[in-house]
Amino acid sequence: MTVMTGHSATSGKASIFRIAGTMRVTMAVVLVAVFAISASAQDAATPAGAPADVFPQPDRPVADIISPIWHDENERDKAGEPQQLVGLLGIKPAMTVADIGAGSGYYVVRLSPIVGASGRVIAEDVVPEYLEDLRRRVRDLGLANVGIVRGEAHDPKLPVQSLDLAILVHMYHEIAQPYALLYNLVPALKPGARIGIVDAFAPTAQHGTPPDLLRCELQAVGYRQISLDRLAGSDAYLAIFAPPTVANRTPPGAIVPCKAQ
């Protein structure tokens, strides 16, 4: 048996401390690298969109955001609004759907079980308080396939080529930078993706969007309307559009604002 002298014991302890210190430094470096890689991956997945100031302002009133919900949820359920949207938009399992302007999460909680465990619902909004309430609702309901994103009026900040579908429900008239948002949404859409916009047959100042004005504003960015259907049980419609490619978007400086009639 080897007996350590006082000097040897002290040296042994010093060596142990040096090894432990080296391990702590190594772990710190690894963690920094991991976080740096994660941040880089996030930046690569969601690059900053074109800035708001390069786009024209809408040539019509923009309604104020006054509530996280449009009408009572039970009323909307009785009118069959979600079923109509699911059918007209062909929402099915394994799809990734973004609810832009998700508000209280009316569609988030109804689409989550439809897209299923292999699908995903991304809830996007610009109002922090709405998103906090929605986080609690999603957590309380145990919706594991829902992600929450805080966007900006000119940029939804959604990952590149992540979406099969984007829906904007009863909120288009509240978008302060519609041309910028539509332009910056395009990179997030997969080939063949669609966007569906639900709004009321009313002027934007009265929390609706006339269909001709909506069509004009989307065409100004390069979108093509596929269909427009009046929704039963309400004064609203669903307009479905095909987006342009990233390369075929109308350049910001060439976008001509549409005038409300």
Q: How many angstroms separate the CA atoms of 111 and 132, rounded? A: 19
- Cβ atoms 54, 184 nearer than 8 A: no
For the chain, give every domain's residue range: 1-45, 53-254
Residue from 63, 99, 75, 93 nearest 196 by CA: 99
Closest Cα partner for 235 from 196, 194, 207?
207
Write the single-letter amino acid at 260. Answer: A
Q: Which CATH class is domain 53-254?
A: alpha beta
pLDDT tens for 11-49 read: 454 444 444 444 443 333 333 333 333 333 333 357 789
Q: How far apart are CA 193 and CA 251, in angstroms?
A: 21
In DSSP terms, 253 is beta-bridged to none
CB 96 within 8 A of CB 122: yes
pLDDT surpasses 60 at 4 = no
- Can you give the pTM of this predicted structure? 0.81
Three-state DSSP at 191 gives strand
What is the percent of the chain with per-residue pLDDT over 90, rounded to a whole number?
Answer: 73
Give the 3-state secondary structure of residue 229: strand
